[in-house]
């Protein structure tokens, strides 16, 4: 019961914000603007879904912003030019789909790297993923030579700019991903074990759960979703910027926390994170509509994070 109540808080906050902004701004309440907000949050939602699983398991992933850039750059690079393999003396031509798969695979690999660092080498997640943050960014610069890759074609661009059934394609993708992992987290053993590990890792080990394997998978998923988010960013801009995604890990952690997931693990939900992303998105959009300086947006976002966590703490104390 308490958990349902806790999930209710971000929803209530969102409803109040939407109601207030709808009254205050005529442009805010248009359906175009609604679709716009959804498109703006789709990248963060994709990242935050993976982040939620990591945080639920008791970890954190600081590398998602860099992995996003790496995946985008790899896909964009492979669309633009064949991959030369000097050792074999061949050049591999990639289709758009092949390039997409390669980009997401890069994300999965970086996630696996995180997962192994945390499980096999027992590094604290904060440190392991901080390392990967730098490694992935460096690899992105090496792959691109530091320059943006542009001119990626309409087929790929559709992923970021197209619409389907009146909603932007990235919204369909990110909402689909979020719903999928909400189901995974609530209805599968894997999801149950993620909660159990975050709630009490020692008890999970002693209950015979394959804790290391589950934890490694969580980072692989987060990496893959960061890769997918990278494709969304790249497709939308029709360019892979090697500096893309800088600082996105913080927005993603913010969405997870505002959505009521506990940073100590074991408590929270993907649904909460969807609400967290919406709250950040509506806040940013609404402040623009009200012509508040963008500098203030940062301040407001920070305040919302602090208030959300303070409410969460106050609720937790009653246990």
Partner 1 sequence: MTEPADVLTARGIFKSFPGVRALGGVDISVRAGRLNALLGENGAGKSTLMNILSGVYQPDRGELFWQGRRIRFCNPREAQAAGIAIIHQELNLIPGLTVTENVFLGREPITRWGTIDLRRMIADTETLLHQLRLEINPAVPVGRLPVGSQQLVEIAKALSSHSRVLIMDEPTSALSEQEIRSLFRLIKQLKSDGVGLIYITHKLDELSEIADDVTILRDGTLVASVEWGRASTDDLVRWMVGRDLSELYPKTECATGDEVLAVERMTLANSSLPGSHYFQDVSFSVCRGEVVGLFGLMGAGRTELLQTIFGLHPRASSGKVRVNGVEVAISSPPDAIQAGIALAPEDRKAEGLVMPMDVGENTVLARGNRDGAFGWIARNAEQRLAQQMCDRLKIKTPSLSQLVSNLSGGNQQKVVLAKWLATAPRILMLDEPTRGIDINAKKEIYSLIDELVHQGIGVLMVSSELPEILALSDRILVLAGGRIAGEFVRGEASEEDILAAAFQRR
| Residues in contact with partner 1 by the rule CB under 8 A | 1-2, 184, 187-190, 192-193, 195-196, 198-200, 202-210, 213-214, 217, 262, 266-267, 319
Measured from the CB atom, the residue of 137 and 267 that comes closer to partner 1 is 267
Token pair for 96: 């758009």
Rounded Cα distance, 225 and 235, in Å:
15
Token pair for 194: 């993620």
Measured from the CB atom, the residue of 191 and 223 that comes closer to partner 1 is 191
Q: In which element (H, E) is residue 92 found?
A: strand 90-92
Closest CA to 257 of 6, 40, 12: 6
Q: How far is the CB of 230 from partner 1 (least distance, A)?
A: 25
Measured from the CB atom, the residue of 25 and 200 that comes closer to partner 1 is 200
The angle subtended at Cα 160 by Cα 157 and Cα 163, nearest 5°, is 100
Q: How far is the CB of 264 from partner 1 (least distance, A)?
A: 9
Residue 241 in 3-state DSSP?
coil
Residue 175 in 3-state DSSP?
helix
Measured from the CB atom, the residue of 81 and 187 that comes closer to partner 1 is 187
Q: How far is the CB of 209 from partner 1 (least distance, A)?
A: 6
Rounded Cα distance, 106 and 112, in Å:
10
Measured from the CB atom, the residue of 223 and 268 that comes closer to partner 1 is 268
Measured from the CB atom, the residue of 1 and 165 that comes closer to partner 1 is 1
Task: Report the 10 Å Cβ neighbour count for 44.
Answer: 23
Q: How far is the CB of 9 from partner 1 (least distance, A)?
A: 17
Q: Are strands 167-168 and 239-240 parallel, antiparallel or unpaired?
A: unpaired
Q: How far is the CB of 115 from partner 1 (least distance, A)?
A: 13
Measured from the CB atom, the residue of 80 and 192 that comes closer to partner 1 is 192
φ/ψ of 83, rounded to 5, equals: -85, 120
**Rounded to 10 degrees, what is the CA torsion of 281, 282, 283, 288?**
100
Q: How far is the CB of 122 from partner 1 (least distance, A)?
A: 14
Spatial contact of 281 and 40, defined as CB atoms under 8 Å apart: yes
Q: How far is the CB of 196 from partner 1 (least distance, A)?
A: 5
């Amino acid at each position: 019961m308490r958990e349902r109540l806790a999930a209710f808080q971000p929803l209530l906050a969102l409803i109040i914000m939407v109601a207030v902004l709808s009254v205050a701004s005529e442009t805010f309440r248009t359906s175009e603007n609604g679709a716009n907000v959804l498109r703006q949050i789709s990248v963060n939602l994709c990242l935050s879904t993976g982040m939620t699983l990591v945080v639920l398991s008791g970890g954190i992933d600081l590398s998602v912003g860099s992995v996003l850039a790496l995946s985008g750059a790899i896909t964009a690079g492979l669309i633009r030019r064949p991959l030369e393999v000097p050792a074999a003396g061949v050049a591999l031509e990639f289709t758009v789909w092949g390039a997409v798969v390669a980009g997401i695979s890069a994300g999965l690999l970086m996630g696996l790297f995180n997962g192994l660092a945390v499980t096999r080498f027992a590094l604290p997640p904060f440190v392991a993923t901080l390392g990967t943050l730098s490694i992935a960014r460096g690899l992105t610069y090496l792959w691109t030579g530091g320059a943006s890759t542009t001119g990626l074609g309409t087929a790929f661009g559709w992923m970021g700019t197209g619409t389907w059934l009146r909603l932007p394609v990235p919204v369909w993708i990110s909402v689909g991903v979020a719903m999928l992992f909400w189901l995974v987290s609530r209805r599968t053993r894997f999801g149950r074990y993620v909660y159990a590990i975050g709630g009490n890792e020692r008890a999970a080990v002693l209950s015979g759960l394959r804790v290391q394997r589950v934890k490694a998978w969580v980072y692989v998923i987060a990496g893959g979703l960061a890769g997918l988010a990278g494709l969304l960013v790249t497709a939308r801009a029709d360019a892979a910027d090697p500096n893309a995604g800088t600082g996105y890990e913080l927005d993603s952690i913010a969405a997870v926390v505002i959505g009521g997931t506990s940073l100590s693990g074991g408590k929270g939900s993907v649904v909460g994170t969807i609400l967290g992303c919406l709250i950040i998105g509506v806040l940013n959009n609404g402040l623009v509509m009200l012509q508040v300086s963008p500098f203030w947006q940062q301040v407001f976002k920070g305040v919302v994070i602090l208030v959300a966590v303070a409410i969460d703490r106050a609720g937790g104390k009653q246990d």
